[in-house]
């Protein structure tokens, strides 16, 4: 059988790098859509792999510049996009990247006869439609559904890369958590999620909610981080009303930061337990991060 070619948009990010490796290991030809090639060469901060060796073609483009995306899907069978705004970028909005950037990519996919488009949104998105970073994902999902192209939308819980942020706070000696730390969730390792993503290329499911194999409270994940570091847990629970007030003030001075904070506050406010997939354990991930030192 002829090899399928997949375009991975967001190939330089945490999930993107795991997905590149997963598709390549299954025999796909991988074209990576990135803004710069730097991150492809080295291991990421949360042990996401260097992936340059798994990539056959590189397409340079920026979601905020639709012209730069033209031709990205030429000759491609399948598009996978986890291209998204997850960190504050001055002057750049979620609408520009998550919604309009992915829509420009979808238009290019339609023009080039792509057979399927796989997209990453967020678990429990319907509970967070007041959050820019969430609703812009779902605006794109609406476009995707209306386009007529075969699609799969995956809605994952938190990635282990987010647990890496908690780990770094624990390393610095103290963790701040929004809420009382009692809400439950099941974070997933990038490699486990990448496996589900690549399976969906051949599957018929259109919408997939997915989380990791273990359920924790926010407090538990942070205590585990301190334990992996051999430190005494030190956690401050920031009441939600203080978080909301801080968000309001941040929004006046720093909109990109407020957008990220808004997601963090919202998602901590309720349980996020999605159907479990994968086998990689958080304690092992923390153990590996601790062994790396730094
Ligand atoms: N992290 C989570 O817990 C979580 C949970 C559920 C859903 N999601 C969603 O999953 C997706 C991937 O998340 P992640 O944690 O892997 O994020 P990530 O590590 O920040 O990766 C995001 C990717 O999007 C790219 N990107 C950002 N702005 C771009 C632009 N203007 N033009 C082109 N590419 C751009 C990044 O490129 P650069 O390397 O150049 O920045 C990177 O390759 C996101 O849409 C996120 O909302 C994340």
User: Which atom number of ligand 1 is nearest to the Cα of residue 161?
Assistant: 1
**151 C-beta closer than 6 A to ligand 1:** no
Residues ≥6 apart with Cβ < 8 Å to 222 = 166, 169, 170, 175, 177, 181, 233, 235
Residue 117 lies in a domain: yes
Residue 223 lies in a domain: no
Q: What is the pLDDT of residue 294?
A: 54
**86 C-beta closer than 6 A to ligand 1:** yes
Using one digit for the tens of pLDDT, what is the confidence trace for 180-206? Answer: 999 999 999 999 999 999 999 999 999
Name the band, by pLDDT with cuts 50, 70 and 90, for residue 43. Answer: very high
Please report, for residues 5, 27, 59, 109, 110, the alpha-carbon distance to residue 2 in angstroms, rounded to integers and kept in the order given: 9, 10, 22, 20, 22
Average pLDDT over residues 224-234: 96
Residue 112 lies in a domain: yes
**Ligand 1 centre distance from Cα of residue 168 (Å):** 19
User: Which atom number of ligand 1 is nearest to the Cα of residue 133?
Assistant: 47
Name the band, by pLDDT with cuts 50, 70 and 90, for residue 213. Answer: very high
Q: What is the pLDDT of residue 293?
A: 78
Residues 208, 120: Cα–Cα separation, whole Å: 10
Structural domains in the chain (count): 1
> Which DSSP letter does residue 35 get?
S
Q: What is the pLDDT of residue 233?
A: 95
Residues ≥6 apart with Cβ < 8 Å to 293 = none
Which of 82, 89, 108, 154 to probe ligand 1 with, by most ligand atoms within 8 A of CB?
82
**Ligand 1 centre distance from Cα of residue 34 (Å):** 11
Residue bearing the CA closest to ligand 1, atom 8: 122
Using one digit for the tens of pLDDT, what is the confidence trace for 271-287? Answer: 999 999 999 999 999 99
Name the band, by pLDDT with cuts 50, 70 and 90, for residue 124. Answer: very high
The tokens describing 157, both together, are 């819980």
The residue range of the domain holding 91 is 5-159+189-210
Residues 117, 231: Cα–Cα separation, whole Å: 45
The reported pTM is 0.97
- Using the predicted structure, report yes or no on whether residue 14 has a pLDDT greater than 70: yes
Q: What is the pLDDT of residue 257?
A: 86
Which of 62, 86, 93 to probe ligand 1 with, by most ligand atoms within 8 A of CB?
86
Residue 218 lies in a domain: no
Percent of the chain at pLDDT exceeding 70: 99
Residue 100 lies in a domain: yes
Residue 262 lies in a domain: no
Residue 222 lies in a domain: no
Backbone torsions φ then ψ of 49, nearest 5 degrees: -75, 155
Which domain CATH number covers 82?
3.40.50.720
Q: What is the pLDDT of residue 143?
A: 98
**85 C-beta closer than 6 A to ligand 1:** yes
Residue 243 lies in a domain: no
Residue bearing the CA closest to ligand 1, atom 1: 159
Residues 34, 12: Cα–Cα separation, whole Å: 6
């Amino acid at each position: 059988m002829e090899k399928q070619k997949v375009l991975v948009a967001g190939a330089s990010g945490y999930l993107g790098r795991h997905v590149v490796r997963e598709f390549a290991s299954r025999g796909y030809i991988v074209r990576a859509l990135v803004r710069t090639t730097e991150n492809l060469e080295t291991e990421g901060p949360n042990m996401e792999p260097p992936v340059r060796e798994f990539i056959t073609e590189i397409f340079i483009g920026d979601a905020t510049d639709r012209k730069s995306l033209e031709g990205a899907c030429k000759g491609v069978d399948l598009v996978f996009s986890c291209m998204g705004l997850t960190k504050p970028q001055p002057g750049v909005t979620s609408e520009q990247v998550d919604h309009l950037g992915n829509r420009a990519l979808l238009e290019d996919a339609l023009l080039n006869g792509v057979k399927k488009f796989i997209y990453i949104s967020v678990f429990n998105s319907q509970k967070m439609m007041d959050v820019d970073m969430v609703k812009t994902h779902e605006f794109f999902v609406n476009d995707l559904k209306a386009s007529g192209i075969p699609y799969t939308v995956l809605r994952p819980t938190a990635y282990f890369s987010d647990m890496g942020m908690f780990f770094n706070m624990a390393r610095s000696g103290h963790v701040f958590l929004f809420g009382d730390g009692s809400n439950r969730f099941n974070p997933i390792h990038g490699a486990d999620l990448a496996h589900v993503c690549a399976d969906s290329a051949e599957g018929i499911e259109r919408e997939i909610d997915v989380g990791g194999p273990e359920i924790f409270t926010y407090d538990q994940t942070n205590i585990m981080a301190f334990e992996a570091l051999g430190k005494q847990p030190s956690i401050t629970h920031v009441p939600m009303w203080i978080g909301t007030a801080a968000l309001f003030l941040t929004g006046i001075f720093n909109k990109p930061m407020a957008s990220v904070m808004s997601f963090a506050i919202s998602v901590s406010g309720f349980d996020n337990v999605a159907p479990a997939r994968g086998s990689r354990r958080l304690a092992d991930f923390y153990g590996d991060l601790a062994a790396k030192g730094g």
